[in-house]
Structure 1
Amino acid sequence: MGATRAWISLMALSASTTLIALIGQTGLIVALAILMLAWAKALIILRSYLGLAAAPAWGRGFAIVLGAYMILAMALVAMAGAA
C-alpha cells in the first residue's frame, strides 16, 4: 500500500471513529467498534509507514502481538460491559 493510499485509509478510519464518537452512544458494541477501528489503523501504520510490508516475518510478529493485545483489550471491555 502506497503512502497516499495509506493516508486516505487512515483518514477514512479516523472519520469513522469520530462519527461513532459524535453519535454519542455508549455500550459494548460502540466500544468494540472503536477498538476494531484502532486495530485497523495500527496495522496500516505498521505496514505502510514503518515499512513492515517489506519485512513479512517482522510484520507477522508485530501483527500477532498487536492482535493479542487487542483481543485482550476487547475481552476486558466485554467483561466490564457484562458487569
Structure 2
Amino acid sequence: MPRDPLICAWILLIALCLGSTAIALAVGSGLGPVALTAAGAAILLLSWLKARLILNAYLGLAAAPFWRKGFEITLALYALLLLGLYVAPTI
C-alpha cells in the first residue's frame, strides 16, 4: 500500500466500488426475493463505507474527532433509515 493516505483512500474506494458492481451484476442472474433484499442491503452497506471514507480522508475529518463523530452518527442514522425503508416493503 502507498504511504499517502489519499492514495490509500482512493484504492479503497475503487475496491468498494468493485464490490458494489459485483453484487449488482450478481443480482441480474435471477436471485430470489430474500437474496435480492440481502444484495440491496450489502450495496447500501458498501455505500455507507464509501461515504465514511470520503468524509474522513478527503474532507479531513480524521483530524477533527468531534466533527467526525457527529458526521458518522448522522450518516449511520441516515443509512439505517434507508435500510429500513428498503427492507420494510419485503416484510
Using structure 1 for the length normalisation, give the TM-score.
0.93
* Counterpart code for 2:50: K
**How much identity, in percent, do the aligned residues show?**
44
Please, which runs of 5 or more residues in structure 2 have no aligned partner?
A: none
* Counterpart code for 2:18: A
Find the counterpart in structure 1 of residue 58 from structure 2: 49
Could you tell me which of 37, 61, 68 is aligned with 1:59? 68
Give the Cα–Cα distance (whole angstroms) in 1 for the partners of residues 39 and 89 of structure 2. 13
Give the Cα–Cα distance (whole angstroms) in 1 for the partners of residues 8 and 89 of structure 2. 36
Give the Cα–Cα distance (whole angstroms) in 2 for the partners of residues 81 and 40 of structure 1. 24
Higher RCO (CA-CA < 8 Å; seq separation 6+): 1
- When the two chains are superposed, the root-mean-square deviation of aligned CA atoms in Å is 1.3
> How many Å apart are 1:69 and its aligned residue?
0.2
Q: How does 1:1-83 map to 2 (within 5 A)?
A: 2-23=5-26, 24=28, 25=31, 27-82=36-91
Give the Cα–Cα distance (whole angstroms) in 1 for the partners of residues 89 and 62 of structure 2. 35
What is the total number of aligned residue pairs between the two structures? 82
Give the Cα–Cα distance (whole angstroms) in 2 for the partners of residues 80 and 42 of structure 1. 25
Please, which runs of 5 or more residues in structure 1 have no aligned partner?
A: none
Which contiguous aligned blocks of 4+ residues in structure 1 show a shift greater than 4 angstroms?
Answer: none
Using structure 2 for the length normalisation, give the TM-score.
0.85
